[in-house]
């Protein structure tokens, strides 16, 4: 099986990351999955934004956690990217799930709680995924092992993935202790021995961020289960001609 092509923050080379236009373009291009980042507003509404602060991807400044949802919705999350997207709002998890639930897309919701450990983020997100009956097609990931443990305590079946950007001793054992059944690995860490040990432990392996043909070819050769890419349309072409 070739790796699933998963749009990283949507089709984030063509539209502002983590916004509805980026998700819609990814879907139109044939992406098989969508990855997005979840943080919490001051009033505990899950929203899709990568950074803890709004500065890089909106026309304002400050921490996401210090805005109410209503305040956050006033921000422009498109003009930083290009004129074409002026006025594009931040997307809530709810809006995203309402759009995605009938589309047969694989979902990866990354809980962005490694810098700010948002209280109850796991339970809030889990409840919405369950509501939309998306438990079987969703992976919850995080760089924060404690968060993954909490998610595993909420539900024993949902796929939970540990994110990894640096080498880690006893990776398989650590992941198993958390209750993770997948690893999302920085491309730089991909090698034969890590793939072998994760396979032996029956863990899914997905790689970020794979934008080059040569990198995708390596992921295919290693038998990875998925790749996160900013350019899903191109990645699908590369995979076709592999």
Q: Which residues of the chain form contacts with ligand G3P (CB under 6 A)?
A: 8, 35, 37, 50, 110, 141, 163, 184, 208, 228
The gap from C-alpha 164 to its chain's centroid, in whole angstroms, comes to: 13
181: CB partners within 8 A, 6+ apart: 159, 160, 161, 202, 203, 204
Rg (CA), the chain: 17
At residue 3, the 3 state secondary structure works out as coil
With CB cut-offs between 5 and 8 Å by kind, which of ligand G3P, Ca ion, none does residue 198 bind? none
With CB cut-offs between 5 and 8 Å by kind, which of ligand G3P, Ca ion, none does residue 208 bind? ligand G3P
Q: Which of 14, 16, 33, 37 binds Ca ion (CB under 5 A)?
A: 37
Both tokens of residue 230?
A: 């900013």
In the bound state with ligand G3P, the residue whose beta carbon lies nearer, of 128 and 206, is 206
CB of 141 to Ca ion, least distance (A): 8
The pairing of beta strand 46-48 with beta strand 33-40: antiparallel
Which residues, in sequence order, are bridge partners of residue 162? Answer: 142, 183
For residues 105-134, which are near Ca ion according to CB under 5 A? 110
CB of 208 to Ca ion, least distance (A): 7
Whether 27 contacts 20, CB under 8 Å: no
In the bound state with Ca ion, the residue whose beta carbon lies nearer, of 37 and 122, is 37
27 is catalytic: no
- Vertex 83 angle, CA 237 and 7, to 5°: 30
In the bound state with ligand G3P, the residue whose beta carbon lies nearer, of 68 and 165, is 165
With CB cut-offs between 5 and 8 Å by kind, which of Ca ion, ligand G3P, none does residue 228 bind? ligand G3P
Residue 234 CA to residue 167 CA, distance in Å, equals 29
For the annotated catalytic residues, the residue numbers are 8, 50
User: Which residues are at the interface with Ca ion (CB under 5 A)?
Assistant: 37, 110
């Amino acid at each position: 099986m070739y790796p699933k092509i998963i749009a990283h923050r949507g089709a984030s080379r063509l539209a502002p990351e983590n916004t509805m236009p980026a998700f819609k373009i990814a879907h139109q291009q044939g992406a098989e999955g969508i990855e997005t980042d979840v943080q919490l507003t001051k009033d505990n509404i899950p929203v899709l934004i990568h950074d803890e602060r709004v500065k890089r991807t909106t026309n304002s400044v400050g921490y996401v956690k210090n805005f109410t949802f209503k305040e956050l919705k006033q921000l422009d999350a498109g003009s930083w990217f290009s004129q074409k997207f002026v006025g594009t709002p931040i997307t809530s998890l709810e809006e995203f799930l309402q759009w995605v639930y009938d589309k047969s897309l694989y979902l990866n919701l990354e809980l962005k709680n490694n810098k700010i450990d948002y209280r109850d983020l796991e339970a809030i997100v889990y409840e919405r995924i369950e509501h939309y009956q998306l438990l079987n097609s969703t992976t919850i990931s995080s760089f924060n092992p404690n968060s993954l443990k909490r998610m595993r305590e909420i539900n024993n079946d949902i796929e939970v993935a540990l994110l990894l950007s640096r080498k880690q001793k006893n990776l398989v054992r650590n992941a198993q202790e958390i209750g993770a059944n997948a690893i999302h690995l920085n491309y730089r860490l991909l090698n034969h021995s890590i793939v072998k040990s994760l396979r032996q432990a029956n863990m899914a392996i997905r790689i970020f961020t794979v934008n080059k043909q040569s990198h995708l070819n390596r992921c295919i050769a290693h038998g990875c289960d998925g790749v996160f890419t900013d350019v899903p349309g191109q990645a699908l072409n590369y995979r076709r001609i592999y």
